[in-house]
Amino acid sequence: MNNKIIILKNIMLANLKIALFSFGGGVAVISLVHKEFIEKYKLTNNQTFNNMVILANALPGPTIFQISLHISYEAGKKLGLLLALIINLTIGPGLLIGVVVLANKLLPIDKLQQISKAILPAIIGMLLAFTIQLFLTNTKENYNWVVYGLIFFATLAALLLHIKIIIILAILIFCLCFMRFL
């Protein structure tokens, strides 16, 4: 099979899995994205992925969508980007809308709130796993781990304390600016 076709197939499979299983928000599923794009399909390297995570978290918009599109473009050029766009704009939102409509019809609001509280420890666990993974993949000379740790704690604080996103963005932008001087 042609190498370009294999790359496009891998882009499609990685984006499909991420679109189908990325409930919980962007930062919560970064470890899944890492596994799919780097470990399983080898569409990019750790350094590029880590840089994309920092950049996507510092910019407004959906983190996973930004990372997915960048890596898909990097690996498959315009066709890879188009494939990722189609998958991420149809399957993920379509599935999410279907689940929300179904849950809203079948479950009372107090049960939905209990489910939401039960999911929070899983999200925190995934954030912690991602942060540990980033610590282990960086060298001692690379100070990006400071930013990764700050991203983890800022997101954790946002989840637990319901801090406004603008404050977290300001902290992340400050951290990124600070890292330029190290």
Count up the domains in the chain and report the number: 1
Domain span at residue 26 reads 3-180
Give 93 or 27, the one with higher predicted confidence. Answer: 93
DSSP string, 139-179: -TT-THHHHHHHHHHHHHHHHHH---HHHHHHHHHHHHHHH
The overall pTM is greater than 0.75:
no
Tell me the C-alpha to C-alpha distance, in Å, between residue 160 and each of 117, 153, 156.
Answer: 11, 10, 6
**Which two three-digit tokens encode residue 118?**
């039960």
| Tens of pLDDT, residues 27-71 | 667 888 888 899 999 999 988 888 888 788 777 777 888 888 999
160 Cβ contact list (under 8 Å, min separation 6):
none
Cα gap 158→165, rounded to integer Å: 7
